[in-house]
Structure 1
Amino acid sequence: MKIGFVGLGVMGRPMAANLIAAGHELSVYRGHTDVDAYRCQSAAEAAERSEVVILMVPDTPDVEDALFSPDGVAEGLRPGSLVIDMSSISPTATVGFGQRIEKLGCHYLDAPVSGGEIGAREATLTIMVGGRPEVFDRARPIFETLGKNITLIGGIGSGQTAKVANQIVVGLTIEAVAEALMFAKAAGADPAVVREALMGGFASSRILELHGERMVRETFDPGFRIRLHRKDLGLAVQAAAELDLALPNTAATQQLMNAAIADGDGDLDHSALYKTLRRGHT
């Protein structure tokens, strides 16, 4: 396919590379310049050159800007074009974006991902999709190039809802693993050995495996930055307020991320919440 790709950051760059390796013809805009693709001067140009446009940018305002600003994607679309937003943004805003794109005679999917930089690089991302089934089927070959666990959740916006739920689980589990390993160390046990023991029991998880090791080694180079995860939990807290729903532990973990950012750690990996917790007890 001819694909426009907007946003070649930590996640977008390896995703674009995998699409190129699979034989797709890419036109790219924003981010790294070291991919084998046509470099566009605007998002509109990327859309003009493509039948499918993928967005992978940080936040809701970035998606709105990429889509609808002067020289944005919407200006370059042709009837029948497909826009796939793989960013993690507001479910409510996503519904509105989709409606605006469909009014142009085009198609829209929200398809946020989970799996971090490793999943993007190894094409093992979990992809949560919102949109019409027939549009999902059209995009499936793209998704299968990028990920392994691909699920159509429901209508436009439901992919983002699933991603917010995912980020609640991930954020709270990282915080739990950090507390557990901090407790082990304070009590005189070797956190590395405790982690190994827990990996064989009911507490085992992908987060204990990968992020627990980062905590033990205290190596926090970003796979997924704290400030981006804080943004996702902000979406959860905002949506919960709209639904008159209490998410007390989500709100507490968001506050812990606020503390990490205030301490200058916002661009570290979200496993660095371990560092934030330890700082509060030293």
Structure 2
Amino acid sequence: MSNIAFIGLGIMGLPMAKNLVAAGHSVTGYNRSQPKIDALVAAGGTGAASVAEAVANADVILTMVPDSPDVEAVVHGADGIFANARPGATWVDFSTIRPDVAARLAADAEAAGLRAVDAPVSGGEAGAVEGVLSIMVGGDAAVVEELRPVLDVVGKTIVHVGPAGSGQTVKAANQLIVAGTIQLVSESLVFLEAHGVDTEAAFAVLAGGLAGNTIFERKGASMRARKFDPGFRIDLHHKDLGIVTSAAREAGVHIPLGAATAQIMGAARAKGYGSLDHSALLLLVEELSGRSTQA
């Protein structure tokens, strides 16, 4: 069992940290809001008053924060991970950030005497709670294997995809596919409703054929019910699609459907849907079709 520091106890981080506690690891957590720390303590973990305090005795340091600047903030500075972690500790970043930033920070971590891997996750809040996330890991293969006892607690599909930054590149591709799939499922739902079809039955048969996808399984019922409690917010997916479009442009890769989906996600955010689940792309499809169900 490992001494683990977990920085960032949000929608994803808190259930992941709780699962590590339940598996027998010693977990010290830090979050900017105290109630999240209290929730981890109630589950058997330990709370810390700062990043420095959380990482001081950790063998493995896990971060799950919203964006590249947030990761930079928790690793650098007098109170940051690099200045306060024990030499030889391993830092695992579960956040979704720019691939170039992940590669640079891995080099900075090595210079500070730490080992680093980027390990963004997919599966949403439900996957975090159930401990079945898909984890795409970039970094040294030997280090990744050493981390298996930790990663296996929070994930089901764990794949080493290449050197530092590679995990973030694969995650960017994941976010591109997920956003496009949500948009098409949204369009299909409005289309089916317009023709008076039983959408529960329609989704059931579609999910069993070539059109089948995880969005049907995870989001289908809530989309039909117009329930958009956030498992993953539009604000964050908008950020992720910015990473995708920027990285594609830098590589000279054309993503016409991806670019259109990124614009749709941005439009949904501009409409005030940013705090809703990303499946709320459905609301924009309804509005464009003159079939809004919102009061």
Task: Tell me the alpha carbon deviations over residues 106-153 of structure 1, each in whole angstroms, 9 at most, x when there is no partner.
Answer: 100100000110110000001110010111111111000111100000
**Residue number in structure 1 paired with 2:186:** 178
Identity of aligned residues (%): 44
Following the alignment from structure 2 to structure 1, what is the Cα–Cα distance between the partners of residues 210 and 254? 27
Describe the SS at the equivalent of 2:14. Answer: helix
Following the alignment from structure 2 to structure 1, what is the Cα–Cα distance between the partners of residues 24 and 217? 34
Q: In the alignment, is residue 154 of structure 1 matched against residue 162 of structure 2?
A: yes
**Residue number in structure 1 paired with 2:230:** 222
Task: Tell me the alpha carbon deviations over residues 79-132 of structure 1, each in whole angstroms, 9 at most, x when there is no partner.
Answer: 111100000110010000000000112100100000110110000001110010
**Residue number in structure 1 paired with 2:270:** 262
**Residue number in structure 2 paired with 1:190:** 198
Query: Greater shift after overlay, 29-38 or 113-122?
Result: 29-38
- Using the TM superposition, give the Cα deviation of residue 174 of structure 1 relative to its aligned residue in structure 2, in angstroms: 0.7
Task: Tell me the alpha carbon deviations over residues 219-238 of structure 1, each in whole angstroms, 9 at most, x when there is no partner.
Answer: 11111111111111110000
**Equivalent of 1:232 in 240, 246, 268:** 240
**Residue number in structure 2 paired with 1:8:** 9
Task: Tell me the alpha carbon deviations over residues 178-226 of structure 1, each in whole angstroms, 9 at most, x when there is no partner.
Answer: 1111111122323223212212321111112222222211111111111
| Segments of 4+ moved more than 3 angstroms | none
**Residue number in structure 1 paired with 2:19:** 18
Q: Which runs of 5+ in 1 are unaligned?
A: none
- Using the TM superposition, give the Cα deviation of residue 4 of structure 1 relative to its aligned residue in structure 2, in angstroms: 0.5
- Using the TM superposition, give the Cα deviation of residue 38 of structure 1 relative to its aligned residue in structure 2, in angstroms: 2.1
Following the alignment from structure 1 to structure 2, what is the Cα–Cα distance between the partners of residues 200 and 19? 34
Following the alignment from structure 2 to structure 1, what is the Cα–Cα distance between the partners of residues 208 and 268? 30
Following the alignment from structure 1 to structure 2, what is the Cα–Cα distance between the partners of residues 14 and 279? 35
**Residue number in structure 2 paired with 1:53:** 61
Question: What one-letter code is carried by the residue in structure 2 that aligns with 1:8?
Answer: L
CA contact (8 A) 2:119 2:168 kept: yes
Matches within 5 A, 1:105-144: 105-144=113-152
Following the alignment from structure 1 to structure 2, what is the Cα–Cα distance between the partners of residues 209 and 119? 12
TM-score w.r.t. the length of structure 1 is 0.97
Aligned length: 282
Query: Greater shift after overlay, 91-100 or 245-254?
Result: 245-254
**Equivalent of 1:167 in 169, 175, 193:** 175
CA contact (8 A) 1:80 1:107 kept: yes
Task: Tell me the alpha carbon deviations over residues 145-188 of structure 1, each in whole angstroms, 9 at most, x when there is no partner.
Answer: 11110000010100111111111111111111111111111223
CA contact (8 A) 2:57 2:86 kept: no
Following the alignment from structure 2 to structure 1, what is the Cα–Cα distance between the partners of residues 251 and 221? 37
- Using the TM superposition, give the Cα deviation of residue 249 of structure 1 relative to its aligned residue in structure 2, in angstroms: 1.1
- Using the TM superposition, give the Cα deviation of residue 43 of structure 1 relative to its aligned residue in structure 2, in angstroms: 1.0
Describe the SS at the equivalent of 2:8. Answer: strand
Following the alignment from structure 2 to structure 1, what is the Cα–Cα distance between the partners of residues 261 and 221? 20
Following the alignment from structure 1 to structure 2, what is the Cα–Cα distance between the partners of residues 199 and 246? 29
Following the alignment from structure 1 to structure 2, what is the Cα–Cα distance between the partners of residues 204 and 152? 26
**Equivalent of 1:88 in 90, 96, 99:** 96
**Equivalent of 1:208 in 188, 213, 216:** 216
Question: What one-letter code is carried by the residue in structure 2 that aligns with 1:35?
Answer: L
TM-score w.r.t. the length of structure 2 is 0.93
CA contact (8 A) 1:46 1:76 kept: no
Q: In the alignment, is residue 35 of structure 1 matched against residue 40 of structure 2?
A: yes
Task: Tell me the alpha carbon deviations over residues 221-269 of structure 1, each in whole angstroms, 9 at most, x when there is no partner.
Answer: 1111111111111100000111111111111111111111111111111
Question: What one-letter code is carried by the residue in structure 1 that aligns with 2:140?
Answer: R
